[in-house]
Structure 1
Amino acid sequence: MEFIDPPGLWKAPRYANIVVAGEFAFIAGQTAFDEQGNVVGVGDIDAQCERALQNLMICLRAVKATPQDIVKVTNYVTDRAYLARLVEARNRIIGELRTASTAVVSGLARDTLLVEVDAIAHLGRR
Structure 2
Amino acid sequence: MHPVAGYHHAAIAGGMLIVAGQVARDPQGNWVGAGDAGAQAAQVYRNIGLILAEAGAGPDNVVKITTIMIDRADGPAITAARRAFFGEHRPPHTGFIVNGLGSPEVRVEVEVVAWLGDG
TM-score by length of 2: 0.91
Counterpart of 1:108 in 2: which secondary structure?
A: coil
Alignment of 1:100-119 (within 5 A): 100-106=92-98, 107-119=100-112
Segments of structure 1 that go 5 or more residues without pairing to the other structure are 1-8
**Separation in 2 of the partners of 1:93 and 1:99?**
12
Q: Which portions of structure 1, spanning 4 or more consecutive aligned residues, are displaced by more than 2 angstroms?
A: 35-38
**Separation in 1 of the partners of 2:16 and 2:63?**
9
Instruction: Name the % identity.
Output: 35
Give RMSD over aligned pairs.
Answer: 1.5
Segments of structure 2 that go 5 or more residues without pairing to the other structure are none
**Separation in 2 of the partners of 1:67 and 1:104?**
21
**Separation in 1 of the partners of 2:91 and 2:27?**
28
Q: Is the 8 A contact 1:90 1:96 kept in 2?
A: no
CA-CA distance at 1:21 after TM superposition: 0.9
Q: Is the 8 A contact 1:57 1:94 kept in 2?
A: no
Q: Name whichever structure is richer in helix by fraction.
A: 2
**Separation in 1 of the partners of 2:69 and 2:89?**
18
Determine which of 42, 67, 74 is the counterpart of 2:66.
74
Counterpart of 1:81 in 2: which secondary structure?
A: helix
CA-CA distance at 1:95 after TM superposition: 1.6
User: How many pairs does the alignment contain?
Assistant: 118
